[in-house]
Amino acid sequence: MTSDLQSRLQGAVGGTYRVERELGGGGMSRVFLAEETELGRKVVIKVLPPEMAAGVNVDRFRREIQLAARLQHPHVVQLLTAGASGDLLYYIMPFIQGESLRAKLAREGELPIPEAARILREVVDALAYAHRHGVVHRDIKPDNVLLSEGHAVVTDFGVAKAVSEATGSGMSLTSLGVALGTPAYMAPEQAVADPHVDHRADIYAVGILAYEMVCGRLPFSAGTPQALLAAHVTEAPEPATRHRTTVPEALNALIMRCLEKKAADRWQRAEELLPHLDAVLTPTGGITPTGTQPHPAVTVSDAARAYAQAHPARVAALFAVSSAVVLFVVYAVVQLAGLPDWVFYGAIALLAVGLPIMLLTGRHERQRAVATMAGTPMATPTGVQRHFTWRKALIGGGLAFAGLTVVAGGYMAMRLFGIGPVGSLVASGVLADRERIVLAEFENLTQDSTLGQTVTELFRIDLTQSPTVTVLEDAQVRNVLRRMQQPADARVTHEVAADIAAREGLKAILSGELRALGSGFVLSAQLVAAGTGEVLWAGRENAVGADQLSVAIDKLSASVRERIGESLRTIRADAPLDQVTTSSLEALQLYAQADRANNNGDIPGAMALLDRAIALDSNFAMAYRKLGVHLSNTGLDPERMKRALTKGYELRSKLTDRERYLAEAMYSSNVAEDPDATIVAYQALLEKYPSDRTALNNLANEYAGKNRLAEAVELHQRAIASGGAPAVTYQNAVARSYSLGQVDTARQLLAKFAADYPANPNVRTFAATIVAAERDWDSAQVLYQAARAERRGNALQEIGPVFSLANLAAVRGKVTESRALVREGQRLAAQAGLPFARLLPSEEIRDLNDDAVKALLIHGDPGRAVRLLQELLRRDPPTRYPADQRPYLGYADAFARAGRVDLANDMVRRWEAEVADSATRQDPGAQWHNVRGMIALTEGRLEDALAARRRAKEKSPGCGPCNLFDFAEIHDRAGRPDSAIAYYEQWVNAKDFGRLGWDSGLLWRARRRVGELYEARGDRERALAYYSDLLEQWKNADAELQPILAEVKARMGRLAGEGRQ
């Protein structure tokens, strides 16, 4: 390696120099000794490593070297020339006989003070000269200081800067190495890569150099270069006198000023150091001998300055500025650390006491100054006056604030560890973190009968912001009342709340009362232990008027939350109630009434009350969000639902954190239709409120929509385990556990649902759905009929059992009964005001539709099906429906199944041309891909059909059996009987809570076709099993289905005959 580089270097310098040998390397270069052939003098050639030279702009490097080469000074090693050849970049300077300062320090350690000061002066002299000529070294260190003939000379002037400037931004800090400095001698501004580094970085390096010469060590040490750089930036160096007591104070002061972190605090020019170094080099070292130092005296000018400084206006102004800074710091600490407010008020009190003390101290200092200027010595102060000095005043202030700090720290420690009366209820073990409590309705002793309900709801809203305590929602309270066999709308007095707490195992009850006081109110509340009746906390606040009730509730709520154990920091972070609800008391009253109506099952009444609340305050974000939720749950008016949720989303800054996350999630889910954003919003809510039942349930719904059923069930079970989960959470948990194949878990959850909500009509419905999914249709029939009987008189609730009974009739081959039940369900939907019922065509048109479906899928008469479909299009044109609900894709699928691809493609084109939502055109859903797949299948493009079905499957990830039947049909049509059988049987055996809906139209077709495929394969036993299942399924089928059964029986007869042979 060395001989190769030496030969390449010799080729680069040609005959001008004769390269003799390599002296070694250090830092950024390899060093060679050479002889200038013309003059016969020795020179040193320093070569940059090829990897560094590759990133250097040669022209810029030469310009910087030329600037440094102009330096001519006794203590500067002059640059002779520089050159480049290929990837070699080098510069040449005279060979200096002697050794480097590094070698001397390595050999001797700390140097004698005079010698160190002399070397330092010569280095500083060289730097001062270079700086005057615009050259900054940037790499002062012992390696670059050479000692020759008793003098110090500095080498490599400008080289570091030349490499740095010529490199630009193409090389990393690591690749530059010492080109930007050496870590042990690097100024803080160099360490942080400040682009404005100037000559004062050299002054800092001089300080490091001086420190090392007099102490034999560096001021900073670290295990890694990175840690060393950090020390330059953050650590204060110890004085040189700490390591060597004989260092003169003047020299120590000079070194320490060089080592200031900020460049502005150092010596500003190298010339400034020279007189101080000259003083150190004088025989006395520039220091008056200790024994001859005079005692300090107070001069007249000092007294005049003291008199001016103690002027009352000046003292007051300085005190005001200092007080503002102190109060700002204390306030920030109070807010960030969650300290009580009295800490801030205590600081104000201490400063109020401190002001007269400082003014009196100033008065006494002025008196002393006047006496000094007059030449009349004052008598030694006695008594209290002897304490009025600046020193004692400042020490006293410091001790006062230290005392305040100790008291505040002790208070917080007692609160944190549950000690004494200030200990929080959570810390003392009375309540657990996120303990559930019940809120009793405030006793209303005013003439306004609605105020008690309103105050209670406001208290509930405020407490739901707490991450430390969980308040039972009103809906949960109403469910407990039903289980207690009390009216759901019963008033929750303190006594009723105590019964609820005992039943649910709750540890505390929060109750209160509202009294009129003149034109205002007195609001009092107390937190009581449920088991013993012990008062754990009590508070009282006054409200000047009705519009100040929310302010009083804010204060009471903050007080009880603090007592329970919540950090004051999080309490203060919550916005005031009037900012996250409404400033209109009347609107608040309507909102509270709407919430009660909703919990009593009166959804239309709740929506009407919310509309009235919004009319009073058009910025009532909570009312918009709740209205959107009701509209979403009922499906009554999708467009109105979107408007309400959008308005709530736009006003989300006026919501509590919990409500804001819910508003964002509902908007993302129902308006933007962005499931990922919906999931993010619910996850953010759960991060702050891990037991929030709404977020747990709705996030589970989103996971289920992505076929993440296991995660969905886990969230449902988490909500149930936390206590007080709503009925819908149990229902979703049952359905999704079953769809996962966890039948036993689904039954256990259903049993818990029945125990916790015995009066809920969906308990019977869900039991029926499970037995229907297990194909125990007789038991399902009994349960669905009982569920319908329970719901008679409530059209909205009766619809579900009626349509389930229609499916049961269909799956058992009772076509006429099924059609009648569907008509009954549609009548109930119209009665309930459901949107789809408003678009239902006449009964004659619906009969025509049913006949077309039967012709196509039951009787296998595609020609008749096409004629009926065309008649349907004529008599019930799709343009009668809203653009996004026009049934073109349904017609397209039917025409394709009937073999009329031309008509199917025409329907697709009309859908693409007329559909209102451009986003749907760009990203069509599962139905569009299913239609494309059916068209491809009809045309014999089997692989295209499979690909389209797979894309449809991706568009409906939450659907278990979806497309299995379609895959089976495609493989069947392709002549792949084994694959067809596999998919048919997967579909038949798939666990799905909605199994009855699939079975009603497809189960008979699957059983018949699998029997036929097994028969064709010669598997007599399995073929007979599937045929037998179909006969059992349709044992009471209508007459119009008997031809199908006759054919199946004939097949079974043939197979039976074969068996007897």
Q: Which residues are catalytic?
A: 139
Report the chain's terminal Cα–Cα distance, integer Å.
Answer: 95
Amino acid at 1048: V
Give the separation between CA 369 and CA 790, rounded to whole angstroms.
Answer: 100
Which of 800, 802, 803, 797 has the alpha carbon at shortest distance from 832?
797
The single residue listed with the structure tokens 């200027």 is 373
- DSSP secondary structure of 521-575: EEEEEEEEETTT--EEEEEEEEESSGGGHHHHHHHHHHHHHHHHT--HHHHHHSP
Instruction: Please state whether 860 falls in left (phi above 0), alpha (psi between -120 and 50) or beta.
Output: left
- Output the furthest CA–CA distance in the chain (Å, rounded): 145
Q: What is d(CA 1056, CA 1027) in angstroms, rounded to the nearest whole number?
A: 12
The amino acid present at 837, given as its one-letter code, is A
Question: By CB neighbour count within 10 A (0-12 exposed, 13-18 middle, 19+ buried), where does 59 fall?
Answer: exposed
CA distances from 187 to 162, 166, 210, 505, 536 (A): 18, 21, 14, 66, 60
The tokens describing 351, both together, are 């400063």
Calculate the alpha carbon distances from 709 to 160, 766, 954, 992 in Å. Answer: 64, 18, 15, 12
Kindly state the tokens that stand for 575.
């916005």
Q: Are 561 and 426 in contact (CB under 8 A)?
A: no
Q: Which amino acid is present at 245? A: T
Q: Which of 783, 769, 735, 730 is nearest to 753 (CA)?
A: 730
Q: Residue 868: what residue type?
A: L
Per the CB < 8 A criterion, the answer to whether 501 and 486 are in contact is no
SS3 398: helix
Backbone phi, psi, residue 421, to 5°:
-70, -20
Contact between residue 535 and residue 430 where contact means Cβ atoms under 8 Å apart? no
β-strand pairing of 435-439 with 508-517: parallel
Tell me how far apart the alpha carbons of residues 879 and 890 are, in angstroms, rounded to a whole number.
14
Q: How far is CA 50 from the centre of its chain?
A: 47
Nearest to 678 by CA among 667, 697, 665: 665
Rounded to 5 degrees, φ, ψ at 281 are: -85, -5
* Distance between CA atoms of residues 837 and 828, nearest Å: 9
Cβ density class 638-676: b for 16+ within 10 Å, e for less = eeebbbbbbbbbebbebbbbbbbbbbbbbbbbbbbeebe
Encoding tokens for residue 421? 């009366």
Instruction: State how far Cα 968 lies from the chain centre.
Output: 44
- Residues 6 or more apart whose CB falls under 8 angstroms from that of 757 comprise 479, 482, 483, 727, 730, 763
What is the torsional sign of CA 129, 135, 136, 137?
Answer: negative
Pairing of strands 508-517, 520-529: antiparallel
Q: How far apart are CA 310 and CA 312, in angstroms?
A: 6
Measured in degrees and rounded to the nearest 5, phi and psi for residue 21 equal -165, 165
**Interacting residues of 767 by C-beta distance below 8 A, sequence separation 6+:** 750, 754, 783
